[in-house]
A and B are shown apart, each in its own frame.
Chain A
């Protein structure tokens, strides 16, 4: 017969993840809403999604490649930058959007039930669209510079999942914290800006002294970005240098931190979710 829902004080109800699955269409609708609303009433429309990565790539190529003379991993510098921009842009967009998601959707939270997890998660839709556009730019740029991808490109979906996981953990954590502490609307833009320079977006991890690389990998985005570079153009392995830019241990550290943040994010979100309607 019909399923029975039991709501008991102080106990999270059973079947939460089943509910997440049951509401998957709503997840789709929320993501779709954000995507279409995004470029309504803008003159340049989706051209913005093209301009931003292109201009940033140009600036970083000049800044790090030409002026800073950073190592280029044996590929044209713009390809190196864009391959790093691809996951970084996704990561920063997803986190910025999810930060405000719960507060912006307060009317939903105070009037209807559905697993709240869908709200920050659905903001990833917009970031994924931008991701796809940047991917197309990257393909064009690789064709222009005649950089051939290898079989490793087949791993791209796996690394995309890793990028999603890397953004989901902090995204959930920050969106839930934002409900009670509006400080995060000031903290997040700063973190994102800071992260653009701390993470290997404009340069390769091979620019970091070898003895620091494991420590550097504690920034989970490092593993994600180097993973993307590895499958897009082979990372450092194609270059003349003998060492890999990010050793396997470093990558595993990044993955470990991604997993830790994801578990922390989901845990904190689930813990506070029930109070959102009262606090928002």
Chain B
């Protein structure tokens, strides 16, 4: 492998075995020994210490390839964005790169010290104080005691929790907890940093701080692997991107190009082979005009339209109602609405557009999920869904008409301009 290549992934594949059991044992409860003993008694002697893929008793195993064949390289100093829909294999890839789980096939070569942040605050113990948790969490993330000691004051200042250093973290607010956790992570100094969506934590101001710290990290020439659903982040931070789809690399190259492919894939519904696909299929979803290429940023002062097309194959003459749900990046639902007064019912190709008025959403990143719900004579049924069909950013107009000279952040998910009545009384 070339001298400036720090990560080399070749034909990587990961298979999970999903157990289906008549008894319905859930993941995490473990398996009962009796099944193995029974299975052994039935003649599969040696199954006890054998491989886990031996079929036992009534349970059956199903294979699931989370990653099928993934190869790529990362050079020193690159910031690689890994994008893809839910279930595309991003998390599995990160787990393999972080050495949490073992590949089924293929090979990974990594040069240098790796720190992976698949979650912030891993290993935080609620009974321990903030100070104790900084040391514990630092050690878990691979820092030495000396490094933590040297960085301790910086970490505490970054997290803004000086006053509560010696309070057990179980008494922390969730904001304080996340800030402390991220502060430790931000002070890691590995050669390679692997990050999974952890930027989507905390309030906006703290997120900005985290992003700035990430940017500083990348400017120091560190190699970073970043998984994100946040398109602006990928665009602004990454030097290259990889699109995963169905466990393989679907596209690779400059972030703007890869994100275009990603959005096109989403819109054309190439990967939208959902279970309901036979009855109803979402063809594409986008933001903007009828024939728009799909915008990703809108300003607060403008109305904008969320659109999607769907095809109903089912011949039954019932109403198929399009729904749109808009969520913040953190997953907080802003609204969940459906179309009213549908012009007709029954099968065919449909187009739905929903206008979101100006001066509704606050500045920030949002996801829109789209659904089609059928309403037969009784009850209802979800017929098609597309999670995160559209990802967009709402930007604040400058100058904002209501800001006066205030330069700080307005909190809240919505920021409507309401009718005020202000009178001088005396």
Binds B, one of A35-43, A155-163, A225-233, A245-253: A35-43
Q: Please give the distance in Å from A16's CB to the nearest CB on chain B.
A: 11
Cβ-based interface call for B401 (8 A): no
Given contacts A112-B116, A179-B30, A277-B95, contact A268 B49 (CB under 8 A): yes
Q: Is A111's CB under 8 angstroms from B100's CB?
A: yes
Interface residues of B in 88-132 (CB under 8 A from A): 95-96, 98-114, 116, 118-119, 122-123, 125, 127-128, 132
Q: Is A8's CB under 8 angstroms from B100's CB?
A: no
Q: Is A274's CB under 8 angstroms from B32's CB?
A: no
Cβ-based interface call for B43 (8 A): no
Number of A-B pairs, beta carbon distance below 8 Å: 125
Binds A, one of B139-147, B229-237, B270-278, B411-419: B139-147
Q: Is A113's CB under 8 angstroms from B98's CB?
A: yes
Q: Is A280's CB under 8 angstroms from B139's CB?
A: no
Given contacts A180-B30, A182-B29, contact A2 B106 (CB under 8 A): no
Complex CA–CA separation, A23 to B132 (angstroms): 18
Cβ-based interface call for A109 (8 A): yes
Q: Please give the distance in Å from A42's CB to the nearest CB on chain B.
A: 11
Q: Please give the distance in Å from B19's CB to the nearest CB on chain A.
A: 10
Complex CA–CA separation, A198 to B19 (angstroms): 40
Residues on the A chain within 8 Å of B104, using CB: 9
Q: Please give the distance in Å from A188's CB to the nearest CB on chain B.
A: 13
Q: Is B100's CB under 8 angstroms from A110's CB?
A: yes
Cβ-based interface call for A275 (8 A): yes
Q: Is B32's CB under 8 angstroms from A6's CB?
A: no
Q: Is A181's CB under 8 angstroms from B141's CB?
A: no
**Which of B36, B96, B101, B112 meets A181, CB within 8 Å?**
B36
Q: Is B108's CB under 8 angstroms from A7's CB?
A: yes
Complex CA–CA separation, A26 to B127 (angstroms): 18
Complex CA–CA separation, A11 to B30 (angstroms): 25
Given contacts A7-B108, A183-B32, contact A40 B127 (CB under 8 A): yes
Residues on the B chain within 8 Å of A40, using CB: 127, 168
Cβ-based interface call for A64 (8 A): no
Residues on the B chain within 8 Å of A275, using CB: 52, 101-102
**Which residue of chain A lies nearest to B141 when distances are taken between CB atoms in the complex?**
A112
Complex CA–CA separation, A257 to B358 (angstroms): 77
Contact with B along A90-128 (1 / 0, CB 8 A): 000000000000000111111111100000000000000
| 5 other A-B residue contacts (CB within 8 Å) besides A6-B107, A274-B102 | A4-B110, A5-B111, A182-B32, A275-B101, A278-B16
Identify the 5 closest CB pairs spanning chains A and B, nearest first.
A182-B30, A274-B102, A113-B99, A183-B33, A29-B139
